[in-house]
Structures are given as structure tokens and as C-alpha cells.
Amino acid sequence: MRVTPRRRGSDRFVLPLCLALTLTTVASGCQERSSPPTAGGTIAVVGDGDTIVLRDGRTIRLVQIDAPESADECYGREATRALEKLAPLGTVVGLEQDPALDDTDVYERLLRYVVVDGRNVNVELVRNGSATPCFFRGERGRHADELLAAAREARAARRGLWGACPEARLDPDRGAATGSR
């Protein structure tokens, strides 16, 4: 086998090429370690302010947030309507799993961020004051800081439950505590 010697001028391209290939491999390795996106679906039912059911039967609990219960808590019905407005029946949604958090809850609901037209519905619900951040067991997912900032902004502006419910408290370890109707 005959080996052709390299010209010295081509050495300047070898190191950058190797570096680029290494970075590409490392970056794709990071992507492979994160959870693959869960297939989205079409909304069939909005159960309350933080739960939807898809046409294929999967029940989705919007992760890292808590909305007042629709029947008996202050701002519950309004929270449900806010979710219906952001994600109306028949809407095709994307679902994003957070690899730092549980996949399902004790009721076997999928825990996901819901995305409509590129917008994170979980964050939007907190931003408009229809839900609060809720960090189960103190675990913070990839959008925790954004959720907290959105809640502080909504509370300062007295949007949603922050203006309607005098007993509302921002406590991400407890979830939505707004008092009764």
C-alpha cells in the first residue's frame, strides 16, 4: 500500500475539522440522553385548568403547574376557561417530556409541557394568572425559572387568580392555594 504524504498547507484544516466532528458528536450525544419528545395529539376534552384528554385517550397533566380545581376553589372555572382558550378542543398540541421529572403521576396521567403554535401553554397559564408553579417533591424542571418569573409578574400585576382570590399564595411546593368560592 502506498501512502501519499500530506502537504503542509492542508494541516491547517485537519484540526478544525476534527474539532467540528468532535463537537457534533458531543452535541448529538447530549440530545440522545434527553428524553425523546412524546407524540402530540388532538385535544378532545379539557378536564380542568391543568388537565387535558387527547382523542387517542391519553390524559395529560400539565407538568410543573397547578390550577385551582374548577368546582370549589376560587378562580377554578376561570382557570379551566383559560386552558380552553389557549388550547381549544380540536387543537393539535405538541407534548414535551421533562427528563428531570417523572413521566407519569399516581393517576397514570402523562406529565408534559403542552405546546400550541410554538408557545408553552404551561408557562402561558402561569403568566396570565390562571395557574401557579408547582414543584412536586421540590423537583424543578427545565422551565422552573421561567414559571417562577411568570408567576411573580402575574402576581405583581394582579392578573387572574392574583386579583380575584385574596387568599392566593405563591408557594411552588404547595401548588395553587386560592381559597374556596
Q: Output the CA angle 19-31-105, nearest 5 degrees.
A: 160
pLDDT in tens, 146-165: 999 999 999 999 999 999 99
Phi and psi (nearest 5°) for 49? -75, -5
Residue 174 has a pLDDT of 80
Comparing CA positions, the residue from 168, 49, 50, 152 lying closest to residue 110 is 50
Amino acid identity of 64? Q
How far are the Cα atoms of 23, 39, 54, 135, 180 from residue 121, in angstroms, in the given order? 33, 16, 15, 17, 25
- Domains in the chain (CATH in brackets) are 38-164 (2.40.50.90)
Predicted confidence at residue 1, as pLDDT, reads 40
Per the listing, cell 476534527 goes with 18
In this prediction, the residues of the chain whose per-residue pLDDT falls under 70 are 1-38, 70, 178-181
**Predicted model pTM:** 0.78
Per-residue model confidence (pLDDT) at position 32: 27
When the pLDDT of each residue in the chain is averaged and rounded to a whole number, the result is: 82
DSSP letters for 22-45: HHHHHHHHHHHHSPPPEEEEEEEE
pLDDT at res. 181: 57
